[in-house]
Amino acid sequence: MLVSTSSTSGIAEGVGRQRDYWVTVYKRTWKGTAISSFVAPLFYVVAMGVLLGGFIEGDPDKLEGATSYLAFLVPGLIAAHAMQTAVGETTYPVMSLIKWDRVYDSMLATPLCTRDLVLGTLGFVTFRVASTCAVFMLVVAPFGIYQTWWGALLAYAAQVLVGTAFGSLVYALTSRLESPEGFGLLFRLGVFPLFLFSGAFFPIDNLGEVGAWVARLTPLWHGVNLSRMLILDQVDWSWAAVNAAVLLGLTALGLRWSLTGLERRMVR
């Protein structure tokens, strides 16, 4: 297949031309994602934060400044949920756009180029992450865990950044895979261990000195730590800067890899 990557439209115009497509996709699919995106997180909060948390002593020295396990759990859980949402949207759905439904082929028959497709898809993924995190943040607001309004807003931005970083990185991977078998390894060896051992459910100090430093090297921990510090108003600004820089750097790197990956995949 020979496809030209030149385009007379600018980036904003190229992404804007896909708006109707993505609006239609969301109208057709949002009901199917309502449970995983909105209801399941609430069950997590009630079951683990409220019920299980009632048996855990709210010691700020052991819970990174949180006065209850619920307050400790929620910031990390939302960041982890952002990761899961982004990964879910950039694995099988993107593979379908490239290989099965071949929507990208039809888009490239228009003045759109591969750059537009990457940015349009990742823009939709960011919207999905932002909407699910917003609902999550609003649902848990009555529990009184937000110490400041500005901290909650910045934490929300950090959670969206987590999703953007993972979305761009996994998109880059998907654009290079010829079959979906690799997704099994991604979920088993990547997503699930990160979900469990990046500080969302318990302080990483419980992993031991070596385990704690391994956890600090993972991208999700940076999002969890940043989200928790901001929501609990326990901000170490030097660590916050490191966390934000890592997530921004991974987003830029993932975007670059996504652009080159789809270019090589679609242009023959």
- Give the pTM: 0.90
- Residue 60 neighbours by CB distance under 10 Å: 14
pLDDT band, very low/low/confident/very high, at 55 (cuts 50, 70, 90): low
pLDDT band, very low/low/confident/very high, at 9 (cuts 50, 70, 90): very low
Using CB atoms within 10 A of its CB, is residue 26 exposed (0-12), middle (13-18) or buried (19+)? Answer: middle
Q: What is the pLDDT of residue 36?
A: 67
Residue 38, φ and ψ in degrees, nearest 5:
-120, -45
The helix, strand and coil proportions of the chain, stated in percent and rounded to the nearest 5, come to 80, 0, 20
**Residue-averaged pLDDT of the chain:** 89
